[in-house]
């Protein structure tokens, strides 16, 4: 050993610069992870641009026709159009005051009541979006995924139901047991949630479940026949009406081909696609990058 060498030098820690060099890769990985998570959070909490949300909202309208095409042939009530169900309940109440004082509350009246109540329940779930931001990618994707779960639950319930998909008479609905009420409830709740979510996006679609209002607004549009120009409000309403019609057509074809359970299973897959779709809608600056 060199006589001039400090005998304690071999036990000294490495220089501070060397320590920083050795620790840098792990520290850098942690910082990159935190930065990536922060960017992801910011991305999910960005509000989508309503003007560029036409595609997923059109898919919402498609699902309105699709879901009702499953319910109406079997039980002659709607899971999305609650005007008819409300009037059905009003007529059931009116029977109490006729000459015969009919107090019967038949199966279709009970199914209509189930649909109205669960639709309202689904609408209240939609108010959770106020906490996350009703137009954020996070809520629109999450809320649509909840609709997906509701549709899947309805598919499972009607699959276990083992009853026909199409009724032969309004007096004898195809679905009559307890599982049919579970199916109706989940379908109606999914439509209630969809209705409030579509409304909160606040676009020219106005509503993804009520065609009467959309049709009236379309006919009342002063630029209805100005066909040489793109009129966003008018064109969105036309797309909404055609989407509901097309959804009903596709659902009707599937009902006659594969039955209610498989049709709702396909509807579940479509809603899952819409859930992912919301994640790629641009924000108001037109950005979709993380």
Instruction: Kindly list the averaged pLDDT for each block of 10 residues, start to end, along the chain of length 290.
Output: 51 54 59 82 88 91 95 92 91 81 80 95 92 91 97 96 87 90 96 92 77 81 81 84 94 94 96 96 73
Direct distance between the N- and C-terminal alpha carbons of the chain, in angstroms, rounded to an integer: 59
pLDDT confidence of residue 237:
86
CA trace torsion 165, 175, 102, 87 (10° rounding): -60
Pick the closest to residue 76 from 182, 175, 211 (CA basis).
Answer: 175
What pLDDT was estimated at residue 25?
59
User: Of 65, 56, 106, which is closest to residue 242 (Cα–Cα)?
Assistant: 65
pTM, rounded to two decimals:
0.84
Round to whole Å and give the CA distance between 35 and 48: 22
User: For residue 11, what pLDDT is reported?
Assistant: 62
pLDDT of residue 73: 93
């Amino acid at each position: 050993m060199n006589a001039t060498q400090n005998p304690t030098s071999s036990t000294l820690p490495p220089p501070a610069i060397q320590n920083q060099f050795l620790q840098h890769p792990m520290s850098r990985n942690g910082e990159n992870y935190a930065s990536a998570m922060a960017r992801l959070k910011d991305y999910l909490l960005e509000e989508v641009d309503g003007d560029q949300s036409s595609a997923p909202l059109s898919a919402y309208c498609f699902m309105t026709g699709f879901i009702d095409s499953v319910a109406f042939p079997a039980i002659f009530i709607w899971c999305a159009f609650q005007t008819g169900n409300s009037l059905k309940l009003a007529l059931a109440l009116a029977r109490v005051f006729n000459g015969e004082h009919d107090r019967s509350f038949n199966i279709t009246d009970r199914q209509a009541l189930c649909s109205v109540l669960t639709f309202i329940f689904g609408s209240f779930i939609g108010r959770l979006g106020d906490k996350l931001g009703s137009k954020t990618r996070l809520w629109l994707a999450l809320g649509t995924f909840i609709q997906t779960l509701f549709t899947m639950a309805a598919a499972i319930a009607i699959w276990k139901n083992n009853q026909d998909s199409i009724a032969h008479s309004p007096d004898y609905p195809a679905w009559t047991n307890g599982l049919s009420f579970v199916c109706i409830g989940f379908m109606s709740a999914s439509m209630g949630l969809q209705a409030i979510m579509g409304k909160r996006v606040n676009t020219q679609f106005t509503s993804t479940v009520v065609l009467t209002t959309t049709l009236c607004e379309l006919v009342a549009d002063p630029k209805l026949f100005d066909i040489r120009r793109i009129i966003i409000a008018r064109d969105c309403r036309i797309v909404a009406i055609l989407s509901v019609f097309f959804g009903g057509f596709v659902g009707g074809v599937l009902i006659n081909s594969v039955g209610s359970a498989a049709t709702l299973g396909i509807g579940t897959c479509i809603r899952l696609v819409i859930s992912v779709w919301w994640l790629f809608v641009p924000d108001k600056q037109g950005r979709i990058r993380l």
